[in-house]
Structure 1
Amino acid sequence: MVVKANQERRSKTDATDLKHIWKRATKPNSEWNEKDDFLDVIYWARQILGILIGIVMGIVPLKGFVALALFALINCGIVYFYCTSFQSIDDEVYGGMWEIIKEGFMTSFACFLVTWIIFYTGIHFDNVTPEKIN
């Protein structure tokens, strides 16, 4: 009984915390009392961003180094803009801007690669395979 009550209380608390975090993430110049909450927002936003960029670059047939470089520029640029202009955070609290820019980058890159490859291959498969020699 006690374990079940604790689990219910924890799940309700997690849901309300998630709502408060979402409100702060979408509101400009929010106060971030917990350092980890802001870094979690950056991390998960990057995962979503990586998937969206992968879909777009798969549909628009971008390939090679150009697509990889564009992903890095767009991803890091959006995170930098969000932190400095939208949230106006003090980057020294988080270990400098480089630490914020690195937060979740590699997992976002992996999400980008998977979605990019799937969409590019699925849509442009005829263009990928060489023609049969008769």
Structure 2
Amino acid sequence: MKEGKSAKLNHQQQHQNGHLSPSKFAKLFDPEASWDKDQLGDVLHWIRQVIGLVCGLIWGAIPLVGGIWFILFLVLSTSFIYGYYAIVLKVDEEEFGGHGALLQEGLFASVTLFLLSWTLVYSLAHF
């Protein structure tokens, strides 16, 4: 009986500390997992933020300049998000508001993060 309470307490502490349990991490790649609109939106938002930051750091470090690189970021980011929800998760996009709603999740925040990181790294590394 104490072991059951201890395991439940550990799970609650893990959840409160913000750590993902193995089952939640596995859900990110499970096409059979059930998603609600908010959960999927949060996952897509944070994936897009990571893509924006990584691309901004790389673009600034290389150094790349010009609008073509901004367009390439948009294409890469959108393609990755589409591939994730359509191919990996195999969700029915109509349940979540269609392709437009899913592809728009986190877009504007990631563009801002991308431009900020690109500009900062470029300015610090090449001046």
TM-score, structure 2 as length reference: 0.80
Runs of 4+ in 1 over 6 A off after TM superposition: none
Equivalences, count: 117
Secondary structure of 1:82 counterpart: helix
* Structure 1 unaligned spans of 5+: 1-8, 126-134
Higher CA-based Rg: 1
Paired letter, 1:51: L
Identify if the C-alpha distance between structure 1 residues 17 and 38 changes in structure 2 by more than 3 Å, giving closer, same or farther: farther
Partner of 2:27: 24
Report the Cα distance in structure 2 between the residues aligned to 1:47 and 1:16, rounded to whole angstroms: 18
Cα RMSD after superposing both structures: 2.3
Partner of 2:59: 57
Equivalent residue in structure 2 for 1:71, among 70, 73, 82: 73
Identity of aligned residues (%): 27
Secondary structure of 2:120 counterpart: helix
Displacement of 1:12 in angstroms is: 4.7
Secondary structure of 2:109 counterpart: helix
> Does structure 1 residue 87 correspond to structure 2 residue 104?
no
Paired letter, 1:98: G
* Structure 2 unaligned spans of 5+: 1-10
Does the aligned pair in 1 maintain the 2:14–2:20 contact within 8 Å?
no
Q: 1:1-134 counterparts in 2 under 5 A? A: 12-15=14-17, 18-19=20-21, 20-25=23-28, 27-125=29-127
TM-score, structure 1 as length reference: 0.77
Identify if the C-alpha distance between structure 1 residues 62 and 16 changes in structure 2 by more than 3 Å, giving closer, same or farther: closer
Report the Cα distance in structure 1 between the residues aligned to 2:68 and 2:27, rounded to whole angstroms: 35
Report the Cα distance in structure 1 between the residues aligned to 2:110 and 2:47, rounded to whole angstroms: 9
Identify if the C-alpha distance between structure 1 residues 32 and 16 changes in structure 2 by more than 3 Å, giving closer, same or farther: farther
Report the Cα distance in structure 1 between the residues aligned to 2:124 and 2:70, rounded to whole angstroms: 19
